[in-house]
Amino acid sequence: MGPAFIAAIGYIDPGNFATNIQAGASFGYQLLWVVVWANLMAMLIQILSAKLGIATGKNLAEQIRDHYPRPVVWFYWVQAEIIAMATDLAEFIGAAIGFKLILGVSLLQGAVLTGIATFLILMLQRRGQKPLEKVIGGLLLFVAAAYIVELFFSQPDMAQLGKGMVIPALPTPEAVFLAAGVLGATIMPHVIYLHSSLTQHLHGGTRQQRYSATKWDVAIAMTIAGFVNLAMMATAAAF
């Protein structure tokens, strides 16, 4: 498990749940192709982000600071802060609701538990990046396993599922908006900044070997995240 597993967790956030479940419930399997292509685009973007950190030893934010005039840098900084705050708000509320549903606690208690869990996970960074990668990777695999179980019980139509993944369809104007929502929830700007930061201090082997390892890391992590997104939509479509 490498840095891509930390980045991949950003691809199964509350935004993905909302858009994928809504798309599956409204249009069945017809928008699965959007998830496939969005995930392929995300793979390419994350590989480029990771390579930037490896090649230059600087993350995307540092590159923007070094190569653009100050007004542009300020614009990108404000943009990044707004994106981060909006994303954190959705993640925090989503986690609090999750604790409420699972444990039967109040929303406020769920928020407190979310804060505690967040700080406990972040404290792992004191031990280096690897322990954090293992914990986040484990959580990603747990979510994937949960959706395998859900797919087993929901019994989706495999023929329609395969057709939906391959044949593009936008049956109504609402489907266009949902497809845009799926795309927007999949390709996350903050994860592009994050991945370049995670790889900028990688050591061991030649640069070419690190490139090669990064490709496999991204391919595996993003395939798992893509499967989870497909499973979300397919499960909603089956019901």
SS3 string, the chain, reads CCHHHHHHHHHHCHHHHHHHHHHHHHHCCCCHHHHHHHHHHHHHHHHHHHHHHHHHCCCHHHHHHHHCCHHHHHHHHHHHHHHHHHHHHHHHHHHHHHHHHHHCCCHHHHHHHHHHHHHHHHHHHHHCHHHHHHHHHHHHHHHHHHHHHHHHHHCCCHHHHHHHHHCCCCCCHHHHHHHHHHHHHHCCHHHHHHHHHHHCCCCCCCHHHHHHHHHHHHHHHHHHHHHHHHHHHHHHHHC
Report pLDDT for 83: 82
What confidence tens digit (pLDDT) does each residue in 170-220 have?
888 888 988 988 888 888 888 888 888 888 777 766 778 778 888 888 898
Domain assignment present for 99: no
Tokens 């989870």, located at residue: 228
- Give the rounded distance of the alpha carbon of 113 from its chain centre: 22
Give the span between the Cα atoms of 59 and 104, in whole angstroms: 41
What is the pLDDT confidence band of residue 37, given thresholds at 50, 70 and 90? Answer: very high
Domain assignment present for 79: no
Domain assignment present for 20: yes
Say how many domains are in the chain. 1
Give the range of the structural domain holding residue 10, as residue numbers without chain letter. Answer: 3-65+132-238
Q: What angle in degrees, to the nearest 10, is found between the helix axes of 14-27 and 70-103?
A: 70
Tokens 């804060």, located at residue: 115
What is the pLDDT confidence band of residue 136, given thresholds at 50, 70 and 90? Answer: confident
The stretch 113-130 carries a mean pLDDT of: 81
Whether residue 32 has pLDDT greater than 80: yes
Domain assignment present for 166: yes
Give the span between the Cα atoms of 12 and 229, in whole angstroms: 7
What confidence tens digit (pLDDT) does each residue in 83-102 have?
888 878 878 888 888 888 88
Domain assignment present for 216: yes
Domain assignment present for 221: yes
Whether residue 119 has pLDDT greater than 90: no
What is the pLDDT confidence band of residue 73, given thresholds at 50, 70 and 90? Answer: very high
User: Around 161, how many Cα atoms within 13 Å sit in the side-chain half-sphere?
Assistant: 16
Report pLDDT for 36: 92
The stretch 46-58 carries a mean pLDDT of: 87
Percent of the chain with pLDDT over 70: 97
Give the span between the Cα atoms of 85 and 181, in whole angstroms: 19
Give the span between the Cα atoms of 123 and 3, in whole angstroms: 17
Domain assignment present for 110: no
Question: Mean pLDDT, the chain, as a whole number?
Answer: 85
What is the pLDDT confidence band of residue 78, given thresholds at 50, 70 and 90? Answer: very high
Domain assignment present for 50: yes
Give the span between the Cα atoms of 24 and 7, in whole angstroms: 25
